[in-house]
Amino acid sequence: MTRQAKRAVLIRRGVILLAASIIGGLGSGAGAAEPGYFPPGTPASRGAANIILIYTGYYASGAGNWDVVDALPYVAYGRRPVDEETGRLQPQAEWVDWFFDTYLFLGLQAPSGRAFDSPARATPARQEDWQWYIDHLFADGKQLDAFEQAVALAKTRGLGPPDYRGKVIIMIPNPITTQRDFGDVDGDGRSENFSMVGQTAEAAAEARVKAVRWYLGQVLERWRAKAYQHLELIGFYWVEEQVHMGVASEWITLRKVAADLHEQGYLLFWIPWFNAPGVKSWQRWGFDVVIHQPNYMFNPAIPRERLKEAAEISQTYGLGVEIEADSSILNLPEGRERYRDYLRAGVEYGYMKGAIKAYYQDAKALWSAFSHWNPDVRQVYDDTYAFVKGVFSEGLSSSRGTSGDGHGE
């Protein structure tokens, strides 16, 4: 069962990040020449090494809205000393280093309640929902603008070089195959129909691709109009976390979308859940970078052995690994220990330095850890920074008092 099915408050169904190894270059579809992790920071991923997931969909709480204050602790590492008198962390941070190099913007639901990723979440999104997401993503002073401002601000605090740019990946909503009335994207008077009921797979795929092309055209037009000086767009992310291998239009759709992106110089990223359909054949579907999720964080019944299994799968198929956190890191010692197991496993199994990684953190869990008054909670942010920089040193035999899950080594 996926994490979204288990906890509605979690923002995505995650599970293993599979990083596609594109040794042959952009769009080659070639797997790793030899078994091993998809490496970080290479031309095959356009230099992406540590990718933070930035959820910018609709939440009644406003969690999908990002200001520069929200963005800065992800763009740069903020050190906060402990006040010797109170034992609490000082409120002001010193911005001493770059943090995540890549920001992946995605959303799961629109204000209408309709879903961008899967019919398992809600009724499939329509054209107006996709348009809402584009408008929301490019809102003045928010989301993308906020990260542009955060990189610029970090440079004023002494971080460099001056031409440094944060890398950006933007989601592609899933043209869900149960949607029969998406909207008319090309002005021909007919609403796009993604279903294969009453039409051929080719016709359904044509409608799906047409909708994606409309979306990409809108996004790229807005991106160019913004003329960001501190961000660079390196690719797009297919938001559905499995390939529907039994749906005949899926193959056609994904291959055409990938080809369109490659033609324009962009990569196609994918983050499927643990052992999801398509994981072992990701190259055939046109993906360039796929990152594999262990899905260990969210179910206490899953033993720590899952992290080893996930690492072995990633090494076998040339994938990256996702690090996963949720709000339990803020209020439960055992949640923090379970999160650190990902970091310890990265040391133990070599993916800390050897693999491209993505970081799932619910809505803004790492921001909450950064700003928390409790040094124990704040330490999660510091440990994540150490891991990103490749200097986290604890192995799986380490513990800070409680594992909280009762599982053995």
Residue-wise pLDDT tens digits, 37-66:
999 999 999 999 999 999 999 999 999 999
In sequence order, the 6+-apart residues with CB closer than 8 A to the CB of 140 are none
* Partners of 60 in the β-ladder: none
> Contact at 8 Å (CB) between 167 and 47?
yes
CATH architecture of 3-388: Alpha-Beta Barrel (3.20)
Residue 154 reports pLDDT greater than 70 = yes
DSSP 37: P
Considering only residues 103 and 1, tell me which one the structure prediction assigns the higher pLDDT. 103
Note the pTM of the prediction, 2 decimals. 0.89
Side chain identity at residue 368, one-letter code: S
Rg (C-alpha) for the chain, rounded Å, is: 21
Please give the pLDDT value at position 10.
36
Please give the pLDDT value at position 400.
66
Distances from the Cα of 117 to the Cα of 14, 271, 293, 344, angstroms:
12, 12, 17, 31
Please give the pLDDT value at position 376.
94
- Please state which of the ranges 17-21, 44-48, 88-92, 120-124 shows the lowest mean pLDDT: 17-21
Listed by start position, the domains of the chain span 3-388
Return d(Cα 220, Cα 226) in angstroms, integer. 10
Burial of 258 by CB count in 10 Å (0-12 exposed, 13-18 middle, 19+ buried)? buried
Cβ-based neighbour number of residue 134 at 10 Å: 16
Please give the pLDDT value at position 238.
97
- Please state which of the ranges 81-90, 93-102, 320-329, 353-362 shows the lowest mean pLDDT: 81-90
* DSSP 3-state of 68: helix
> Contact at 8 Å (CB) between 350 and 402?
no
Residue 28 reports pLDDT greater than 60 = no
Return d(Cα 400, Cα 377) in angstroms, integer. 12
- Please state which of the ranges 9-18, 154-163, 236-245, 400-409 shows the lowest mean pLDDT: 9-18
| Average confidence (pLDDT) over 238-243 | 94
**Tens-place pLDDT, residues 286-298:** 999 999 999 999 9
| Average confidence (pLDDT) over 312-317 | 94
Question: Nearest 5°: phi and psi at 310?
Answer: -65, -40
Mean pLDDT of the chain: 89
Return d(Cα 16, Cα 14) in angstroms, integer. 7
- Please state which of the ranges 8-17, 72-81, 129-138, 301-310 shows the lowest mean pLDDT: 8-17
- Please state which of the ranges 81-95, 152-166, 232-246 shows the lowest mean pLDDT: 81-95
DSSP 272: P
Cα angle 317, 320, 322; round to 5: 130
Residue 9 reports pLDDT greater than 50 = no
**Tens-place pLDDT, residues 114-126:** 999 988 899 999 9
Please give the pLDDT value at position 87.
78
Residue 2 reports pLDDT greater than 60 = no
Return d(Cα 15, Cα 123) in angstroms, integer. 23
| Average confidence (pLDDT) over 147-173 | 98
Residue 166 reports pLDDT greater than 70 = yes
Return d(Cα 347, Cα 393) in angstroms, integer. 7
Q: Considering the chain, what percentage of its residues have pLDDT values greater than 70?
A: 89
Tokens of 387: 């891991």
CA proximity to 325, closest of 356, 366, 291, 385: 366
Please give the pLDDT value at position 407.
29
Please give the pLDDT value at position 384.
99
DSSP 60: T
Q: How confident is the model at residue 401 (pLDDT cuts 50, 70, 90)?
A: low
Q: What is the DSSP string of 96-165?
A: EEE--SEEEEE-SB-TTS-BSS-TTTSSBP-HHHHHHHHHHHT-TTSTHHHHHHHHHHHHHTT-S-TT--
Q: Are strands 94-98 and 76-79 parallel, antiparallel or unpaired?
A: antiparallel
> What's the count of helices (H) and strands (E) in the chain, helices before strands?
12, 10
Cα angle 119, 212, 255; round to 5: 90
